[in-house]
Amino acid sequence: MSTARPLRLGLYVFDGADELDLIGPYTVLTRWAESAASRPDVVTFSDDGAGVRLAGGLLMVPDVAGGDTGPLHVLIYPGGPGAQARMSNSKHLSWVRDQRASVPLMVGVSTGALVLAAAGLLAGRPCTTHPGSIDLLATTEPSALVDTRARFVDDGDIITTAGSVAGLDAALRLVARLDSRAVADQTARALDYQPVPSW
């Protein structure tokens, strides 16, 4: 992945997003960013920059509006009931496809993968999602190669995870890809997190 411009990682937030789908990757990435030589920016953004009410009731105020993120290297799309509600929103799915055209790497955490599938981004690709939504993923994108065992699937420019906690594993994989395996290990130790199985 090109690092000609400063690394910028965006976490998309919206009403009904799952708290852990967001906070897990955010915690890993901001901990890494504190000491990374590349000085990556980690930003949260909503459609209009306004606060959102997450699935468990937590009120979150994002850093910026979607149009103010600047060019992103990575976009993380969380799951939750709010994600599933967006699966049939044609305008939103068009936005997701537009993001895919300009963002080198997208991550669908848990049922966030369902939105990527609904947008046509997982056609013919290996992927996964929350175990309770495997059938819905297969129905949404019949050509997807759904992995029912992996905690996350890294298919190069798209990563999907099997659940909320697996979002931490995918975030550590991002650190390894953007920095190094040693730094990812160091980040996991700093968070006292021992992925099982190892990421």
Extract the tokens encoding 117: 């599938």
Domain 8-190 architecture:
3-Layer(aba) Sandwich (3.40)
Per-residue pLDDT of 13-48, as tens digits, reads 999 999 999 999 999 999 999 989 889 999 999 999
- Indicate if the pLDDT at residue 4 is higher than 80: no
pLDDT, average across residues 97-113? 97
Per-residue pLDDT of 78-103, as tens digits, reads 999 999 999 999 999 999 999 999 99
